[in-house]
């Protein structure tokens, strides 16, 4: 048996999230079925994160175990061939140690959230960004976001379906920047609660619109109450950007 680490890019639009669901197609199912066709084996994909319906990934990390002898480059090419026409691509494939685990070995995760700050509906970027027509003050959003950095009880920013044992997480970094008509929120942590990034972005957008004062984000955090959440941003603006492992860049 050989363990392979994969770097996956996907368009989350047609999937019911990354994880296998009884209700519809998932990224996991697409990759596992491709791997089964390549190897003749029943394989299980384990991923660094569990992205929701409509959430995208530029570099999700995952692993699978294969008995058949196959070179990593050939496995990548074969998976990509069999993944068509699913919008999932294997960007990299390498052999890792048997105890390397895409989820449990991961020590850092980074997301970006893409807001298209414009009045006109989206065309080329439909399902790729959250369209917000009101002008956003990205600097105010950045300032408000800094209250979230550090170790906190993030109950306010946690989905009621979240399965994490504790609502306490450490947010290492969050920044908000403007790039022409886009406002990009970047966040990094060891791990996140379910809906945490989308919930933080929703509240920051309220600050950007001038509907919340900068200090209200800190107040919402301190409330430790889901009812204090102003707005949950939609999934299609969210991108899983990077997973970090010990000994990697």
Mind telling me the catalytic residues?
Answer: 52
**Stretch of 3-11, 100-108, 152-160, 229-237 contacting a second copy, by CB under 8 A:** 3-11
The Cβ of residue 236 has, within 10 Å, a number of other Cβ atoms equal to: 23
Residues 99-158 interacting with a second copy (rule: CB under 8 A):
118-124, 126, 128
- Residues forming beta bridges with residue 51, ordered by sequence position: none
Report whether 239 belongs to an annotated binding site: no
Report in angstroms how near the CB of residue 84 gets to a second copy at its nearest: 7
Three-state DSSP state, 66: strand
Report the nearest approach of a second copy to the CB of residue 192 (Å): 21
Q: Which one of residues 4, 10, 130, 212 is an interface residue with a second copy (CB under 8 A)?
A: 10
Maximum Cα–Cα distance for the chain, whole Å?
59
Among 3, 56, 63, 152, binds a second copy (CB under 8 A): 56
Dihedral angle computed from the Cα positions of residues 184, 115, 15 and 242, in that order, rounded to the nearest 10 degrees: 0
34 binds a second copy, rule: CB under 8 A:
no
Closer to a second copy by CB, 10 or 212: give it.
10
Q: Which of 36, 91, 107, 168 binds a second copy (CB under 8 A)?
A: 91
In angstroms, what is the minimal distance from the CB of 45 to a second copy?
16
Q: How far is CA 139 from CA 101, 136, 145, 146, 211, in A?
A: 38, 9, 10, 11, 15
Q: Shortest Cβ distance from residue 143 to a second copy (Å)?
A: 30
Q: Near a second copy by CB under 8 A, which window of 74-82, 187-195, 205-213, 225-233?
A: 74-82
Binds a second copy by CB under 8 A, chosen from 25, 87, 167, 230 = 87
What's the burial of 235, exposed, middle or buried (CB within 10 Å: 0-12/13-18/19+)?
Answer: buried
User: 5 or 171: whose CB is closer to a second copy?
Assistant: 5
Smallest distance, a second copy to C-beta of residue 179, A: 13
CA 4 – CA 83 distance, rounded (Å) = 17
Tokens, residue 79: 């998976």
Alpha carbons 197 and 111: distance in angstroms, whole number: 8
Torsion angle of alpha carbons 117, 123, 127, 132, nearest 10°? 20
Question: Exposed, middle or buried, 1 (CB in 10 Å: 0-12/13-18/19+)?
Answer: exposed
Among 90, 115, 189, 193, binds a second copy (CB under 8 A): 90
Contact positions toward a second copy, by CB under 8 A? 9-11, 56, 58, 76-77, 80, 83-84, 87-91, 118-124, 126, 128
Residues forming the annotated binding site for substrate? 111
């Amino acid at each position: 048996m050989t363990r392979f680490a994969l770097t996956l890019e996907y368009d989350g639009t047609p999937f019911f999230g990354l994880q296998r669901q009884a209700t519809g197609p998932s990224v996991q199912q697409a990759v596992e079925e491709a791997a089964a066709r390549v190897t003749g084996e029943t394989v299980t994909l384990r991923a660094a994160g569990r992205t929701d319906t409509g959430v995208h990934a530029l570099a999700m990390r995952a692993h699978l175990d294969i008995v058949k002898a196959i070179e990593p480059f050939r496995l990548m090419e074969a998976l990509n061939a069999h993944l068509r026409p699913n919008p999932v691509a294997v960007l990299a494939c390498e052999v890792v140690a048997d105890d390397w685990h895409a989820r449990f070995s991961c020590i850092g995760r980074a997301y970006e959230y893409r807001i298209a700050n414009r009045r006109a509906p989206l065309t080329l970027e439909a399902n790729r960004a959250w369209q917000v027509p009101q002008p956003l003050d990205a600097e105010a959003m950045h300032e408000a976001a800094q209250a979230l950095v550090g170790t906190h009880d993030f109950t306010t920013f946690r989905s009621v379906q979240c399965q994490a044992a504790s609502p306490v997480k450490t947010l290492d970094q969050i920044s908000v920047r403007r790039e022409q008509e886009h406002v990009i929120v970047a966040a990094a942590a060891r791990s996140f609660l379910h809906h945490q990034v989308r919930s933080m972005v929703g509240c920051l957008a309220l600050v950007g619109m001038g509907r919340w004062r900068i200090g209200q984000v800190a107040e919402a955090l301190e409330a430790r109450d889901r009812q204090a959440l102003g707005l949950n941003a939609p999934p299609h603006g969210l991108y899983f950007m990077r997973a970090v492992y010990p000994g990697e860049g």
